[in-house]
């Protein structure tokens, strides 16, 4: 009998628990591809309290997104464009957290 490794269990949890639409996942169009993502407004609020950025009436809209590495593809580098539901963002930071990417995105809004 095959006993799953921790990594196998983690991969299963990423898909079946974290990105499950009945739990946390929400369907969005990311870079032209439909996928389940998690938008973390709570963590973003805490980060925005620490860092406020605005210049000449243009405010930075920030979004913290979690996405499955398997669905997304290669981890995007800082400065890369990323479109969420047709809105352009720039990757401010990206981290691979065991098969889940944490993407801190920034976009301009006036």
pLDDT tens, position by position, 91-104: 999 999 888 999 99
Identify the CA nearest to 47 among candidates 109, 100, 104, 110.
104
pLDDT at 44 over 60: no
The CA-based angle 50-41-82, given to 5 degrees, is 95
Asked if 38 contacts 84 with a C-beta cutoff of 8 angstroms, the reply is no
Please state the rounded mean pLDDT for residues 55-75: 81
Structure tokens at 79: 């400065």
Taking the model in full, what pTM does it have? 0.73
What 3-state class would DSSP assign to 73? coil
> What is the number of other CB atoms lying within 10 angstroms of the CB of residue 36?
19
């Amino acid at each position: 009998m095959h006993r799953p490794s921790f990594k196998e269990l983690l991969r299963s949890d990423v898909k079946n628990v974290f990105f499950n639409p009945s739990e946390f996942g929400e369907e969005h169009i990311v870079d032209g591809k439909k996928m389940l993502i998690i938008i973390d407004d709570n963590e973003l609020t805490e980060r925005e309290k620490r860092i406020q950025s605005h210049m000449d009436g243009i405010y930075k809209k920030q979004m913290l997104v979690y996405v499955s590495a398997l669905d997304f593809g290669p981890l995007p580098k800082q400065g890369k464009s990323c479109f969420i539901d047709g809105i352009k963002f720039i990757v401010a930071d990206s981290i691979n957290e065991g098969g889940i990417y944490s993407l801190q995105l920034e976009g301009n809004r006036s």
